[in-house]
Every structure is written in structure tokens, then in C-alpha cells.
């Protein structure tokens, strides 16, 4: 954490110092300049799993070689986690020497590819001035959205703004119709704790089939879209990418499951719960502590879903069908189940929970919302335990 903070401060200082040493706002790029989109492969940290997109401005005449990075944030900001939870994730554009970015990627073993854009000199200068204005302290910050406003969508939007009607966007790179969630799960192994948390927290908006332009929240698809798109030069249609370069040629990091994976943990817990339920049935007893744990955990997750859905600014948190198993009132019911003889209405309540569980396969198979497969053993455990409870508590 401290290393990230130091790196952030250094980059910011470099950016500021560069602005003082060379007033780039008044510069005009030469005919030898080039503007490139830089795409980096995935890294090890969760927030690096999707790769990265940035913009490079290079002019040998002006001795410029800068990167414009919309992916800067500071974990050590005292309000970072509070704002993150509320959905107000503040990111900023930082401008610094390109070699620092390349050096960082090399240290992390991430591949880096460059696509030199086929722009006129006027378009290049408009692009450059837009970036320079955006890099000013009063303009640099923006509220990040991982699916609709991030380091990949920003360069995409600037290219569209600068080229206007001359851009001929091609969607040949889309080979199958996938949702935002399916695209996300291709980048992060579903059998990781990070993926599990994201899939539980976010709702059915992620399960709408993405349009080709929405694919471009991911750097890989920005790269593919630029490769296939065209630009009008007079009456001629030319490739949008004039030249591609491989700057660092590392093997792409594979999206692996965690060593102690969610599926393994949930499976072991579920098998234990099913075994205890079997013993309870044979001995005509009820393990109150198991019921308390199940209802307390599912209720806590339910409370989190309600909070994210109704009380935050996360664009993809609403309409979350995980409430069918993570039901907030379970948190209160958990304490009733510690009693030897809980209130009689609880057996009806448990029947309602069983109906909710039956709806999960319907929601899943119809793709209204996709659930993550590591949760399957828990769904089975809940179904068995709820069935047992509604029979037992009715007596």
C-alpha cells in the first residue's frame, strides 16, 4: 500500500514538474509527432486483471514522450474506501514520461502493445490540446465507473470526439453476444474471492447483452476495435491504426483460481451442513448453531445488497437477484432460531425462502441474472436445510 502511495506521489510530482519545465499548453505538435493508444496486459492485483489502456504523445522535434493515464487512484486516501463503498470512486488523469510507464510494466511482467493512430496533424493537435486541458489539476479528477467510465472508455471517447463523422467504427471484433458480466468473468477467474464478491454485489444490469461499443470497457477490446476500424481521409477510407508495435513481449498472465478457492471453501462448509442436517433428521434434533450461522451470514449479505442497491451510486448494483438467497430479514430471524421453540410463524417464513431458492435456477437459466458457480453448493445446502426446518418447526 505504501509503495503505491509513494509511486502515486512521485508520478504526480513528475507531472507537475513537467508542466513547469515545459509549458505544453502552448505547444503545437510537429509533423513528425504521433499519438498512440497503449494497451497493457493483465497484472497480478484484482484491479489489474482487466489490463490497462492509456494514450502516448510522442514528438521527437519537441522532445516529448508522454503518457496520459486515466487510471490513477490512491488507496491511502483517508476517504478512499468510504467513497468506494458509496460508489464515488475518484480517479484522475496523470501525465508523466512514457519510459516510467514502460519500466513499471516491465517490472510487473506485463506485455505492452502500441497502436499509432492514423490522424491528420490538425487532429493530433486537437487530441493533444484536449489531453493537456484534461490534465490540468481542476480537470484531472473524474468519478470512475468500472463498466462505463474507466481508463479504456476515456481514450475511446476522445478518439470519437476528435475524429467525429470521419471515424468508421467496425464491430467485426465481436464474435459472440456476451453480457458485461460474462465479459468480466472471462478476465477474472470466477473461482476467486475477488470475482465472488463482485458477482454477489452487482445486479442484473450486468447481464444485459453488451453492444459492441460497450465491449470497450475492456482494454483488449479497445485494441481489437481500433485494429478493425477505419477513418475517412477525404473520400478514401483508411485504417484507423497506422502502425502497431509490440513494446514488451511477455506471456499473458493466466486468470487462475485462488489456492484456497471459494468453491472449495463453500463446498466443504455445505457438505458439513448437509451431514449435520442428516444427523439431525436421524436423531430428531435441531442444531441451533448451524441455523444461526446460515441465517446470520445470508442476512448479512442481504443487508449489504440492500445497501448497495438503494443507498449507493454504483450503476450496476440495483436489481440484484442475489436477494433470493441473501435475504436481509434472515439477520433478525437468526436470533429467533437460537431458541429451543422459535415462533410458529418462522416455518411459514422458511417456506417463502424455499420458494425464493426455487426461483434461482429460473433466473439463472433464463439469464435474467447469472449466478457464479462457486455458490452452487451453498444453494443446495440452503434448500436441504430450509426443507428440514419447515418440516421440523411446524410441529
Q: Does residue 80 surpass a pLDDT of 70?
A: no
Q: Does residue 367 surpass a pLDDT of 70?
A: yes
Confidence of residue 75 (pLDDT cuts 50, 70, 90): low
Q: What is the pLDDT of residues 290-346, one digit of tens each?
A: 999 999 999 999 999 999 999 988 899 999 999 999 999 999 999 999 999 999 999
The least confident of 61-65, 168-172, 356-360 is 168-172
Contact 48, 4 (CB under 8 A): no
- Annotate 364-393 with b (16+ C-beta within 10 A) or e (fewer): beeeebbbbebbbbbbbbbbbbbebbbebb
pLDDT of residue 169: 92
Q: What is the pLDDT of residues 336-361, one digit of tens each?
A: 999 999 999 999 999 999 999 999 99
Contact 163, 226 (CB under 8 A): no
Higher pLDDT, 139 or 15: 139
CA distance linking residue 145 with residue 182, whole number of Å: 17
SS3 394: coil
pLDDT of residue 85: 64
Higher pLDDT, 91 or 111: 111
Share of the chain above pLDDT 90, in %: 80
Contact 219, 54 (CB under 8 A): no
Q: Does residue 128 surpass a pLDDT of 80?
A: yes
DSSP category for residue 136? S
Contact 88, 143 (CB under 8 A): yes
Pick the closest to residue 148 from 227, 200, 89, 201 (CA basis): 89
pLDDT of residue 240: 97
CA distance linking residue 393 with residue 71, whole number of Å: 54
CA distance linking residue 95 with residue 68, whole number of Å: 5
CA distance linking residue 96 with residue 56, whole number of Å: 10
Confidence of residue 103 (pLDDT cuts 50, 70, 90): very high
Contact 119, 35 (CB under 8 A): yes
Question: What's the chain's average pLDDT?
Answer: 91
What is the DSSP secondary-structure string of 351-375? HHHHHHHHHHHHHHHTTSSPPPGGG
Q: What is the pLDDT of residues 268-294, one digit of tens each?
A: 999 999 999 999 999 999 999 999 999
pLDDT of residue 81: 59
Q: Where are the beta strands (DSSP E) in the chain?
A: 34-40, 52-59, 64-72, 89-97, 112-117, 141-144, 167-168, 230-233, 236-239, 241-248
pLDDT of residue 235: 86
Average pLDDT of the residues in 364-385: 97
The least confident of 2-11, 126-135, 343-352 is 2-11
Binning the chain into helix, strand and coil, the percentages to the nearest 5 are 50, 15, 30
Higher pLDDT, 226 or 1: 226
CA distance linking residue 236 with residue 243, whole number of Å: 18
Per-residue cell: 59: 514528438
Confidence of residue 88 (pLDDT cuts 50, 70, 90): confident
Cα-Cα-Cα-Cα dihedral sign, residues 378, 383, 385, 386:
positive
CA distance linking residue 116 with residue 80, whole number of Å: 35
Q: Cβ neighbours of residue 369 under 8 Å, at least 6 residues apart?
A: 203, 204, 206, 207, 319, 320, 321, 322, 363
Pick the closest to residue 94 from 145, 144, 55 (CA basis): 55
Indicate the pTM of the whole model.
0.88
Q: What is the pLDDT of residues 201-228, one digit of tens each?
A: 999 999 999 999 999 999 999 999 999 9
- Annotate 222-243 with b (16+ C-beta within 10 A) or e (fewer): bbbbbbbbbbeeeeeeeebbee
Q: Cβ neighbours of residue 353 under 8 Å, at least 6 residues apart?
A: 327, 330, 382, 386
Amino acid at each position: 500500500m505504501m509503495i503505491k502511495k509513494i509511486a502515486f506521489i512521485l508520478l504526480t510530482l513528475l507531472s507537475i514538474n513537467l508542466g513547469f519545465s515545459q509549458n505544453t499548453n502552448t505547444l503545437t505538435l510537429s509533423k513528425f509527432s504521433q499519438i498512440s493508444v497503449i494497451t497493457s496486459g493483465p497484472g497480478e492485483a484484482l484491479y489489474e486483471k482487466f489490463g490497462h489502456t492509456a494514450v502516448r504523445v510522442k514528438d521527437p522535434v519537441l522532445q516529448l514522450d508522454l503518457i496520459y493515464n486515466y487510471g490513477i487512484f490512491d488507496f491511502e486516501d483517508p476517504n478512499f474506501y468510504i467513497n468506494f463503498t458509496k460508489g464515488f470512486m475518484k480517479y484522475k488523469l496523470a501525465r508523466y514520461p512514457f519510459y516510467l510507464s514502460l519500466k513499471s510494466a516491465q517490472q510487473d511482467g506485463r506485455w505492452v502493445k502500441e497502436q499509432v493512430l492514423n490522424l491528420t496533424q490538425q487532429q493530433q493537435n486537437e487530441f493533444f490540446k484536449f489531453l493537456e486541458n484534461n490534465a490540468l489539476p481542476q480537470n484531472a479528477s473524474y468519478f470512475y465507473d468500472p463498466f462505463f467510465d474507466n481508463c479504456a472508455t476515456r481514450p475511446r471517447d476522445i478518439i470519437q470526439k476528435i475524429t467525429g463523422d470521419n471515424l468508421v467504427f467496425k464491430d467485426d471484433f465481436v464474435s459472440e453476444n456476451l453480457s458485461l458480466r460474462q465479459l468480466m468473468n472471462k478476465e477474472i477467474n470466477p473461482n476467486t474471492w475477488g470475482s465472488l464478491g463482485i458477482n454477489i454485489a452487482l445486479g442484473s444490469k450486468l447481464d444485459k447483452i453488451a453492444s459492441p461499443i460497450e465491449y470497450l470497457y475492456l482494454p483488449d477490446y479497445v485494441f481489437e476495435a481500433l485494429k478493425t476500424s477505419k477513418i475517412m481521409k477525404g473520400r478514401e477510407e483508411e485504417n484507423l491504426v497506422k502502425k502497431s508495435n509490440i513494446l514488451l513481449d511477455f506471456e499473458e498472465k493466466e486468470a487462475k483460481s485462488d489456492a484456497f478457492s471459494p468453491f472449495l471453501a463453500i463446498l466443504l462448509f455445505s457438505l458439513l451442513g448437509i451431514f449435520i442436517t442428516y444427523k439431525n433428521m436421524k436423531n430428531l434434533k435441531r442444531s441451533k448453531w448451524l441455523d444461526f450461522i446460515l441465517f446470520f451470514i445470508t442476512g448479512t449479505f442481504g443487508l449489504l445488497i440492500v445497501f448497495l442497491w438503494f443507498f449507493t451510486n454504483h450503476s450496476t448494483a440495483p436489481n440484484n437477484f442475489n436477494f433470493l438467497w441473501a435475504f436481509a430479514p434472515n439477520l433478525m430471524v437468526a436470533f429467533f432460531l437460537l431458541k429451543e421453540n422459535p415462533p410458529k410463524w418462522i416455518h411459514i417464513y422458511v417456506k417463502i425462502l424455499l420458494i425464493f431458492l426455487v426461483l434461482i435456477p429460473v433466473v439463472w437459466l433464463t439469464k435474467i441474472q447469472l449466478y457464479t458457480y462457486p455458490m452452487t453448493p451453498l444453494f443446495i445446502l440452503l434448500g436441504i436445510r430450509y426443507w428440514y426446518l419447515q418440516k421440523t418447526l411446524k410441529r
